[in-house]
Structure 1
């Protein structure tokens, strides 16, 4: 069994090397053509080969759906696994200024800023607002800090929630905003559980990690399927994949050295101001023990490792991750799994948070489970009608992470009590 396994890995490694050499011939292409691709892939090893070439957006047992440009399409064709593809220009696009009218419930940058400012101004004893730094184009990246008795916040266990690493994942930016609004409203209503959490936790919320990309994706009246930030690359293209730009095991697989690629990892770890902002903020708040990064889509709960197939070396920590993921899946009905069970991806937020800082970090890939019809933007642009239902199914998981921020090991050792009078869920 192990011989067959090693032969398979060796063959796939040889394939990756051949593809990497071929990519160099196309690396300077700046074509604007973009394609949906349906690519045969029957396991995580074949998916990892594909992930080294193009950004995978959805997986099934037999194939993946990916999105990329001319360079990636040529390499997938060379690989011989391409089942079909569709030019983005042929896809039905949404029209209107800013968000389409039917999607007006989503918040652009100005609207998000206004909502965060309003919440902080109206609740100064519960909420503070600040900037964690500027984006590539000079926008503030806003953070809310929630909790009663803000003067002693750093003495409490902390949890951080963030959304919008990827520009087209607008639903991921609504979840942190709605969580902040929910906590304040329920605290003021006297909800015993929320009062306990707000009294005994230091809660950090960053809804829009990539404000430039989010604005670019909607700026001229049609969704652009934009993923990256808006930094200018040496070959004249734009953007780095922020969720491939973190330092832990950066560039070790599932990310691209091609600036054209949707999974371009940047010139070096933390080459982008947006990831530096997150790094500096997390490292300045050493009481953070749990982290949740919202993404779309696929209905998954992912945890480290993403950069390799092996599980965590620390078996106790592995048990905590598995226990917490399975528990949260009971509420949102997502699939809990180690991130690399999908495919290898390095330089992401959760590997960095756990690998460098031992923070119990999770990625939620929100609804839907797949894009409509297999192709098209429906997965990233599912319509405003999903916002409230998706929040409703994820509020319990979010509160669960908050509750166990005092000691995540309590999830596997019930004899260890919580800090503070927090009712059990």
Structure 2
């Protein structure tokens, strides 16, 4: 099997994913290097693929995009999306102009599965879903209450309905398998049902069925070092943030991996589900942004919508689980606020839009929606994912006695796309990654000049420009937190040469890009572009004629360029 045969209609387990990654590295050694970023709680490798055309320079001398996914255990679409990206890059180089240009001038750092332990549980023959890591936290023993899981071991975690005169739910009059909410003033013979998620009840006393706090209680995407809060009992969903920021080895590896690669300018975290592209902040309104960063986010977000069809949303205004609370400790917030990167979270897949439901809110729809919407979704599921809604069947529950299992099969409908729709869902996002890579700043030598001032005295000038769309600092935030070093030029002086004045290292500051220049008409007439994208360094040196000087111009986020200047009369 070659890389062209890698399937995108299935969710690979760890060994299969590893095999695909190793095959890509073996077949494309000049483009893709596979390494271990770190290890999971259970000791599995966290694979990182570094992708660039090594013939045009090393990976760390080019501006870069970081992409990771599957930090949440069951959100395995992310791994397939990133595997698709790697294949798209490797097979497109030399045949696709944009891919070729991206790999010749930029770098991609790709971590397809941040949480291999949790994904293995979710993809096992008898699946078990944890939020993130499999580590027991905040206590080693399971507490009492309803623990979700596949209680009849049929490979599905469904719903349980228990007939109860005080139940909230009743059968739809014409579609009895579909449960609908009982009216507020409704009484009568029923039947009425209490609806529970499939699972067993720890410590059942014959009366009470509380929801048990999860044994593996950490949400790793709350473990990043941005506004971290411990919340030992979770954030309304029973999930906690760990013992301290980056307490989890998977998160620590991601944070260290990003910090160790100062050439990164853009950060993507891939998740499911909602079919949206999110940006920070999660915990504060948009007036917290430097104005230019908000304008740039909006421009990049509009283009992301065009490429993928996914709406672009700010989390604070468009993706909060509770209007009176905020989430903290999130990866994209950390990447923007601490590292000054344009950071995104992709939430793949929305079954509601697939079913033709118009403009469903990614959070509020699941709290309250019309019966027409539910019927539309059910009709779509029966036609496209027939296993997605299961007719109720009797089961002798070990604690509750006679119950019925069935209803919505979340893993088949909501959590990830049905396998036959998977490739079409992730494919546009490979193009989005290439697009954003090509928006990064990119240093280029514009001109070199030599003027002879005396018999052995020369004035040397090197002019560079930022040929990219974004400025060399990428964000204003990066300047504010001082993580984007200025562009610098350095001349190497061989033996027998000396500087007449000045220093070998010349700081050029930050160079602007073409970002936000969309209109040829400004408020007071045509805009003045100026030449903020250019920088120059001049040295006066004493050296014999014929000497060659090597100049290196370096920017953490825009790359490294070199020029050789020959001291000859012109």
TM-score, reference length from structure 1: 0.69
TM-fit CA distance, 1:273? 0.3
Match of 2:438 in 1: 403
**Equivalent residues of 2:8, 2:422 under 8 A apart:** no
Q: After superposition, where does 1:235-274 map in structure 2 within 5 Å?
A: 235-236=139-140, 237-251=215-229, 256-258=231-233, 261-274=237-250
- Unaligned 5+ segments in structure 1 are 1-101, 421-425
Identify, as 1 or 2, the structure richer in helix. 1
* Aligned with 1:195 (options 97, 100, 110): 100
Contact 1:241 1:262 in 2 (8 A): no
Residues 104 and 175 of structure 1: CA distance in aligned 2, closer, same or farther (over 3 Å):
closer
**8 Å CA contact 2:9, 2:423 repeated in 1:** no
State the Cα deviation string for residues 83-138 of structure 1 (Å, max 9, x = none): xxxxxxxxxxxxxxxxxxx9972111111111001100111111100001111000
1:206 to 97, 111, 121: 111
Deviation, structure 1 residue 263? 3.1
1:160 counterpart (56, 66, 85): 66
SS in 2 for 1:385: helix
The alpha-carbon deviation at position 293 of structure 1 amounts to 1.0
Question: Which residue of the partner structure matches residue 46 of structure 2?
Answer: 141
Mapped pair 1:390 → 2:425: yes
Q: Which has the larger radius of gyration?
A: 2
Q: Which residue is 2:77 aligned to?
A: 171
Q: Which runs of 5+ in 2 are unaligned?
A: 1-6, 141-214, 321-325, 353-365, 367-376, 379-406, 442-468, 472-513, 519-528, 535-556, 560-570
Moved more, 265-274 or 376-385: 376-385
TM-score (ref. length: structure 2): 0.52
Partner of 1:355: 337
* Residue 305 (structure 1) shift: 0.3
RMSD (CA atoms)? 2.6
SS of residue matched to 1:136: coil
- Quote the Cα distance in structure 2 between the aligned partners of 1:132 and 1:199: 24
User: Comparing both structures, which one devotes a greater share of its residues to strand?
Assistant: 2
User: Which of residues 279, 304, 321 in structure 2 aligns to 1:303?
Assistant: 279
How many Å separate the matches in 2 of 1:120 and 1:262? 40
Change (3 A) 1:262 1:366: farther
| Bigger relative contact order, structure 1 or 2 (CA pairs below 8 A, ≥6 apart) | 1
2:539 match: none
Residues 311 and 214 of structure 1: is their aligned pair in 2 closer, same or farther, counting only changes over 3 Å?
farther
Shift of 1:250: 1.3
Alignment partner of 1:131 is 2:36: yes
Give 3-state SS (helix, strand or coil) of 1:357's partner.
coil
